[in-house]
């Protein structure tokens, strides 16, 4: 039976590791997935409440602790509901079964004669009852999950699929200390890192005595070009850092390549090219282009996206504490907003040269991260600095400048597409080449290097490992590179460019953003070439009814909208849509956008968007809707406004003025339509709208002014350039 | 170097002996234990730290504590009315108007002031009022709806 258990539960079958009945009448459920603002705690609580028949407000969720929560690896890739949700559902079903058996023994009856309401087990006669907490009496389960309990059939669900209030929000609206930056520990000190001004700079000299004599300074740590400052109070550490920025001497050893030539750089520096078959790269020679002799038209286009930032509103932070414990030797406790507490623990152990068992990583929330931002680096930085203050916790914060200039960006990409069309409009051959730096720069324990900035900068450095092409299904560059459409022949190639101008890693959607932008823009270009309606053209190439259903849902909803149009003759209006199924296996999403283009300023203004999503069985409808809409807004910001700028010396996008994002006045109204399939499994949805949002905007601009924008971001300058050519 | 500073925070006089150049944000967070003003950019670009000083929304990150001496400051910890959540807080809760929630404190303070000056703002009024507040999660529409709901709730009273 245990082979039926969800993967992470099979790895950690001990029920006590997952669920505890507290003496105050609440239940604590543990998940290895962490809260990133996506609302996972609420969804996990709903699943647990459903299976146990305990009211939602009595469920507590503990997440991400290498000593107190199960290892569920990274919180990434829209996998939390599918993986941890399945584990928690089974855990809760097993706990319920265990408790009902005990209750049946207590009441001398059989389980079939018992009902549960908010954790109170009653017999059908209604003359006897006992609560889960009375049954547990503060004891542990001391059993392992065995797969014998069966979760409820979906038809019996009363909590799953119903609107719920976010369980973490009550504390946030009153400003409680819920974020990592709010941590206050006894005897705590403050730390900051002085980074080099750019990637290619190394430390030369600094008046150390002058800095050490500033008020409150405890220590100045200089290890190669890894430099940190520690003070008693926050303003003291910030003052010292400012002074250090002014007086530190650096030497430049190299420069960044010309940003103007970035996309040529990528498409001419491919160093590992792999065909992608059914979404998975294979180590085979790159085949020739596929063509169709009967084709009447061949269309091709090249699309690009720049480097984007995660752009968390809260700069990265961590708390680290070194202690000598009797019997355990030296231990390190790190509080971090990493997406993978267990994973970052291993990566830190490698750099610190200590066994990973001597490190405990405890997750604390920060502002939304949207992928691998500075969280893990801050944990490493804090651990290294805190060594200088043994026994005292050190709160380390990155500055806004640190976050903007050192976070691992979403890689720039180039997407080249060519397709043959038949006379009836069908696509007969599809060729796709995507070029990108790696989307996988997370610190993990590995023999060939380290992905921590601190490791690169130390006097005895550990170099960045060479990028390796991800081989998993839809894993990185090739995520959603393989179209979801029915195509008689296709040639899809991923090209990993190992030489990276900027530091890159995983950002919400990974390659899917660029790939869906290209594919879904190109589908409109093909429809235009075939003289067909873009929606009909897509439907003609789709056999999956659920895919068609989300497209039809946005079309039908958009057709009911009567847009108020300004009679300003300088405004031109357009509508565009796009579709994708995330990783070709998760949530289906279609997006339809109405916008206007100001013919004088070339400014694109989003007016309204309609989103339809099918995420299988919906656990938390309001949470799902929030994710689909939030993903759309964020992707619209990437698409319209964002690109990381740099010059020979380094990053020049160093704050929100030099890296502007979408603001309140620019936000369109949004309708979200959820297509529920309670009978089928839940599908990860947190990244589902990133891709289609971009192409829907491009397609709407084309509809409005007849100009095809193929290079993100669609700034007024880009639009003017497109109009001029 | 150190100076005696008096801040009237959420209705109570609080005395500090502190470097007068210290950002108000650190004084509130580290010396007065008020975690609601969040640090985002330290340069008046994101709005996460905004608090109310003498009826104006100010940036606690760039305001020095000496500039707040003998002034009245309200943080999210102090916007509640008779111990109950302010209608803006309640409306955000009811609307699930957040994802990570990091921007919320600044937004709540700004919304409280907005509704004092404009009891029934339309969508566009709110969008304009929040032009200096960043939200990276894309919860904008929920926040706008919550503020409109709060405005309606306050009219009923």
pLDDT (tens digit per residue) in A266-305: 999 988 999 999 999 999 999 999 999 999 999 999 999 9
Q: How many CB atoms lie within 10 A of CB B56?
A: 10
Q: Are A27 and A52 in contact (CB under 8 A)?
A: yes
- Least Cα separation, residue B156 to chain A (angstroms): 22
Average pLDDT for A413-427: 98
Cα–Cα dist A321/A187, whole Å: 11
Return the number of other C-beta atoms located less than 10 Å from residue A584's C-beta: 18
Two structure tokens written together for A565? 């149009």
- 3-state class (DSSP) for residue A477: coil
In the CATH hierarchy, which top-level class contains the domain B87-156? mainly alpha
Q: What is the ipTM of this complex?
A: 0.98
Asked if the C-beta of B111 comes within 8 angstroms of chain A's C-beta atoms, the answer is no
- Please give, rounded to a whole number of angstroms, the shortest distance from the CA of B155 to a CA of chain A: 21
Nearest in space to A523 (alpha carbons), one of A438, A580, A573 = A580
Tens-place pLDDT, residues A538-597: 999 999 999 999 999 999 999 998 887 888 999 999 999 999 999 999 999 999 999 999
Q: Which residues contact A490 (CB under 8 A, 6 or more apart)?
A: A290, A429, A430, A431, A432, A482, A483
In this prediction, what percent of chain A has a pLDDT beyond 90? Answer: 94
Distance CA A239, CA A113 (A): 69
Interchain proximity A314–B48, CB inside 8 Å? yes
Q: What is the pLDDT of residue B1?
A: 82
For residues A8 and A14, give the distance between their C-alpha atoms in angstroms, rounded to a whole number.
11
Beta-carbon count within 10 A of A353 CB: 6
* Closest CB from B29, B93, B134 relative to A313: B134
Least reliable range by pLDDT among A2-16, A488-502, A593-607, B38-52: A2-16
Angle at A548 between CA A544 and CA A552, to 5 degrees: 170
H-helix segments, A353-488: 375-386, 400-406, 453-457
Tell me what the mean pLDDT of segment A79-95 comes to: 94
- Provide the Cα torsion A479, A480, A482, A486; round to 10°: 160
CB contact (8 A) between residue B137 and residue A37? yes
Mutate to test the interface with B, among A367, A509, A631 (most CBs of B within 10 A): A367
SS3 state at A50: helix
Distances (CA, A) of A44 to A85, A442, A688: 6, 25, 20
Residues of B in contact with A626 (CB under 8 A): 96, 99, 139, 142
What is the CB-side half-sphere exposure of residue A656 using CA atoms within 13 A? 26
Q: What is the pLDDT of residues B104-127, one digit of tens each?
A: 999 999 999 999 999 999 999 999
Q: Smallest CA–CA separation between A169 and chain B, in Å?
A: 6
Mean pLDDT of A223-246: 98
Q: Where in chain B is the domain with CATH 1.10.150.120?
A: 87-156
When pLDDT is averaged across residues A696-717 and rounded to a whole number, the result is: 98
What is the average pLDDT score of chain A? Answer: 96
Torsion angle of the four alpha carbons A264, A270, A274, A276, in this order, in degrees rounded to the nearest 10 = -20
Q: Which residue has the tokens 């296709």?
A: A490
Give chain A positions within 8 Å (CB) of B48. Answer: 313-314
pTM of the model: 0.97
Question: Closest by alpha carbon to A179, among B95, B35, B105?
Answer: B35
Which residue in A37, A170, A174, A373 has the most chain B C-beta atoms within 10 A of its own C-beta, making it the best mutation to test that interface? A174
| B108 CB within 8 Å of a chain A CB | yes
A530's tokens: 């075939």
Best CA proximity match to A470, nearest among A502, A438, A500, A497 = A438
A189-194/A394-397 β-pairing: parallel
Which two tokens mark A604?
A: 């694109």
Check residue B157 and give its pLDDT: 54
Separation of alpha carbons A589 and A614, rounded Å? 7
How far does chain B reach from its first CA to its final CA, in angstroms? 49
> Do residues B109 and B50 touch, judged by C-beta distance below 8 A?
yes
Record: contact A37-B96, CB cut-off 8 A: no
The pLDDT of residue A90: 97
Q: Which residue of B has its CA nearest to A656?
A: B45
Q: What is the 3-state secondary structure (H, E, C) of chain B?
A: CCEEEEEEECCEEEEEEECCCCEHHHHHHHHCCCCCCCCCCCCCCCCCCEEEECCEEEECCCCEHHHHCCCEEECHHHCCECCECCHHHHHHHHCCCCCCCCCHHHHHHHHHHHHHHCCCCCHHHHHHHCCCCCCCCCCHHHHHHHHHHHHHHHHHC
- pLDDT tier at A665 (50, 70, 90 boundaries)? very high
Chain centroid to Cα A182, Å, comes to: 23
Indicate if the pLDDT at residue B156 is higher than 80: no
Q: What is chain A's percent helix, strand, coil content, to nearest 5?
A: 35, 25, 45
Contact (CB<8Å) B43/A655:
yes
Q: What are the φ/ψ torsions at residue A468 (nearest 5 degrees)?
A: -120, 145
Average pLDDT over residues A93-97: 97
Closest CA to A712 of A653, A660, A637: A637
How does DSSP assign A243-308, residue by residue?
Answer: HHHHH-EEEE---PPPGGGHHHHHHH---EEEEEETTEE-SSPPPPPP--TT-SEEEEEEEEE--B
Task: Considering chain B, tell me which residue range(s) the CATH 3.10.20.30 domain(s) occupy.
Answer: 3-78
Asked whether the predicted pLDDT for residue A1 surpasses 80, the reply is: no
Q: Locate the chain B residue with the closest alpha carbon to A315.
A: B40
Q: How confident is the model at residue A270, as a pLDDT?
A: 81
Strand partners, A492: A432
Residue A52: count of CB within 10 angstroms of its CB: 25
Asked if the Cβ–Cβ distance from B21 to A235 is below 8 Å, we say yes
Residue A17 has pLDDT above 90, yes or no: yes
Pick B92's closest partner by Cβ from A173, A370, A663: A173
pLDDT digits (tens, 9 = 90+) for A633-662: 999 999 999 999 999 999 999 999 999 999
pLDDT at B126: 98
* ∠ CA A27-A623-A166, rounded to 5°: 45
Q: What is the pLDDT of residue A564?
A: 79
Q: Return the half-sphere exposure (C-beta side, CA atoms, 13 A cut-off) of residue A383.
A: 30
Choosing among 3.40.720.10, 3.10.20.30, 3.90.700.10, 3.50.50.60, the CATH entry for B3-78 is 3.10.20.30
Q: List CB contacts (< 8 A) between A339 and chain B.
A: none
The full set of domains in chain A, from first to last, is 2-173 (3.30.365.10), 180-253+310-406 (3.30.365.10), 530-724 (3.30.365.10)
Question: What is residue A602's three-state secondary structure?
Answer: coil
Q: How confident is the model at residue B155 (pLDDT cuts 50, 70, 90)?
A: confident
């Amino acid at each position: 039976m245990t082979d039926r258990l969800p993967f992470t539960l099979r790895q950690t079958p001990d029920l006590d590791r997952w669920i505890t009945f507290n003496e105050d009448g609440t239940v604590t459920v543990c998940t290895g997935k962490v809260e990133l603002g996506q609302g996972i705690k609420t969804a996990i609580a709903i699943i647990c409440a459903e299976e146990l028949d305990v009211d939602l407000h009595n469920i507590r969720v503990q997440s991400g602790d290498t000593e107190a929560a199960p290892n569920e690896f990274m919180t990434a890739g829209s996998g939390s509901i599918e993986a941890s949700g399945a584990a928690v559902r089974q855990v809760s079903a097993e706990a319920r079964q265990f408790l009902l058996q005990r209750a049946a023994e207590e009441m001398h009856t059989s389980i079939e004669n018992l009902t549960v309401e908010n954790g109170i087990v009653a017999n059908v006669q209604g003359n006897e009852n006992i609560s889960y907490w009375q049954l547990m009496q503060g004891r542990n389960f001391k059993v392992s999950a065995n797969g014998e309990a069966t979760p409820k059939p979906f038809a019996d669900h009363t909590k799953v699929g119903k609107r719920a209030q976010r369980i973490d929000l009550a504390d946030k609206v009153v400003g409680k200390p819920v974020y990592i930056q709010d941590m206050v520990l006894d005897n705590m000190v403050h730390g900051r890192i002085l980074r080099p001004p750019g990637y290619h700079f190394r430390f030369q000299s600094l008046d150390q005595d002058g800095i050490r004599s500033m008020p409150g300074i405890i220590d100045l740590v200089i290890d190669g070009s890894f430099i940190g400052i520690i003070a008693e109070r926050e303003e003291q550490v910030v003052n010292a850092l400012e002074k250090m920025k002014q007086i530190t001497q650096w030497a430049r050893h190299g420069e960044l390549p010309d940003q103007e030539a970035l996309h040529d750089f990528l498409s001419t520096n491919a160093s590992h090219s792999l065909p992608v078959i059914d979404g998975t790269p294979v180590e085979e020679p790159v085949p020739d282009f596929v063509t169709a002799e009967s084709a009447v038209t061949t269309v091709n286009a090249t699309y690009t996206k720049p480097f984007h930032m995660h752009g968390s509103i809260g700069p990265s932070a961590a708390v680290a504490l070194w202690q000598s414990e009797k019997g355990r030797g030296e231990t390190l406790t790190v509080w971090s907003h990493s997406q993978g507490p267990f994973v970052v623990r291993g990566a830190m152990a490698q750099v610190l040269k200590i066994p990973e068992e001597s490190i405990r990583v405890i997750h604390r929330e920060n502002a939304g991260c949207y992928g691998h931002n500075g969280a893990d680096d801050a944990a490493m930085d804090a651990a290294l600095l805190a060594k200088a203050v043994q026994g005292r916790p050190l709160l380390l914060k990155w500055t806004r400048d640190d976050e903007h200039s050192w976070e691992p960006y979403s890689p720039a990409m180039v997407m080249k597409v060519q397709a043959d069309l038949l006379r009836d409009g069908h696509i007969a051959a599809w060729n796709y080449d995507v070029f990108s730096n790696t989307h996988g720069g997370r610190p993990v324990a590995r023999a060939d290097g380290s992905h921590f900035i601190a490791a690169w900068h130390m006097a005895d450095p550990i170099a960045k490992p060479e990028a390796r092409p991800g081989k998993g299904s839809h894993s990185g560059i090739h995520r959603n590179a393989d179209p979801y459409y029915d195509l008689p022949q296709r040639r899809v190639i991923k090209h990993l460019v190992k030489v990276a101008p900027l530091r890159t890693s995983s950002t919400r959607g990974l390659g899917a953003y660029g790939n869906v932008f290209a594919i879904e823009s190109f589908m409109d270009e093909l429809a235009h070439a075939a003289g067909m309606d873009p929606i009909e053209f897509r439907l003609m190439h789709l056999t999956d009814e659920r895919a068609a259903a989300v497209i039809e849902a946005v079309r039908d909803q958009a057709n009911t909208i009567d847009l108020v149009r300004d009679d300003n003759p300088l405004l031109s209006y357009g509508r565009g849509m796009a579709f994708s199924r995330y990783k070709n296996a998760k949530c289906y999403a279609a997006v339809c956008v109405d916008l206007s283009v100001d013919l004088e300023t070339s400014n694109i203004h989003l007016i309204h968007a309609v989103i339809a999503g099918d995420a299988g069985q919906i656990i938390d409808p309001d949470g799902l809707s929030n994710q689909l809409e939030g993903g759309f807004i964020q992707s619209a910001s990437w698409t319209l406004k964002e690109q990381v700028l740099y010059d020979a010396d380094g990053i020049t996008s160093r704050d929100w003025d030099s890296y502007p994002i979408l603001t309140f006045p620019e936000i369109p109204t949004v309708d979200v339509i959820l297509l529920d399939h309670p009978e089928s499994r839940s599908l990860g949805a947190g990244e589902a709208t990133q891709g289609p949002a971009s192409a829907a905007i491009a397609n709407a601009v084309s509809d409005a002014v007849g100009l095809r924008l193929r290079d993100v971001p669609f700034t007024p300058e880009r639009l003017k350039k497109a109009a001029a050519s | 170097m150190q100076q005696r500073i008096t801040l009237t925070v959420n209705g109570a006089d609080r005395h500090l002996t502190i470097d007068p150049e210290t950002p108000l944000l650190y004084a509130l967070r580290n010396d007065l234990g008020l975690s609601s003003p969040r640090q985002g950019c330290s340069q008046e670009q994101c709005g996460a730290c905004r608090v109310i000083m003498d009826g104006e929304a100010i940036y606690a990150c760039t305001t020095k504590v000496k500039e707040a001496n003998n002034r009245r400051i309200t943080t999210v910890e102090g916007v509640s009315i008779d111990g109950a959540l302010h209608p803006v807080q309640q409306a955000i809760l009811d609307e699930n108007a957040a994802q990570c929630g990091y921007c919320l404190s600044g937004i709540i303070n700004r919304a409280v002031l907005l509704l004092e000056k404009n009891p029934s703002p339309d969508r566009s009024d709110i969008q304009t009022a929040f032009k200096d507040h960043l939200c990276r999660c894309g919860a904008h529409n929920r926040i706008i709806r919550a503020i409109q709901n709060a405005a309606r709730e306050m009219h009923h009273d």
